Amino acid sequence: MLKRITTELKEHAPFTALGALTGIIIMAIIVLAEVPSGISHTVFYTLHPIHIVLSALVTTAMYVRYRQSKIWVAVLVGWTGSIGIATISDAIIPYLSGGLLNVPMEFHVPFIETTQMPVIGIEKWKIVNSAALLGIAIGYWKQITRIPHSGHVLLSTWASLFYFAAFGVANWIPLLPFIFLFLFLAVWVPCCTSDIVYPLLLLGRD
């Protein structure tokens, strides 16, 4: 099992690095175009729920594909594997990274926030948890993983990036090499853990 997990992480590293590079390009555009933080805030709360949908879909699909289980077990696996790990990837790691860079950062945990979502005005926790349930339902119904996983990696990269832009205040251009590193780590380990490692560990076999 450990060998399988190590292999998966190695195989995902190049694509994750490419995703992080796209994030750096987007950050440079945000800075040079002087995009207001309010727009980044809206984009983050758009990308994060979509990320949750794809994460829940792949985690559930991976688990259900290799083990016939009760629906409530699949829901529990999909919810914890998406909500928990996506929160680490999109919010907690960027927040902690900001601290390491001495960048003032606001701390947000979307799946428990009662404030309203931008534009649509619905409480954030309702949208985020509903996104997880939607992904679980799709993953349980049809076990597709490859394309959703690729989209998951890219969306996670961009969500983490827009967390920096929305909730941090800094001169970002000199920090871009460090942002690249943190984006890579924020996606590489959590997303592979959510989609592959977590369901495989629960299965207990290759």
Give the domain ranges of the chain.
2-203
- 138-172 confidence digits (pLDDT tens): 988 876 656 555 666 788 888 999 999 999 988 89
Given a contact cutoff of 8 angstroms between Cβ atoms, the answer to whether 77 and 194 are in contact is: no
Residue with tokens 């945000």: 30
Low-confidence ranges of the chain (pLDDT < 70): 1-2, 4-5, 8, 143-152, 191-206
pTM (2 d.p.): 0.85
2, 25, 26, 78 from 133: Cα distances, Å: 30, 32, 30, 8
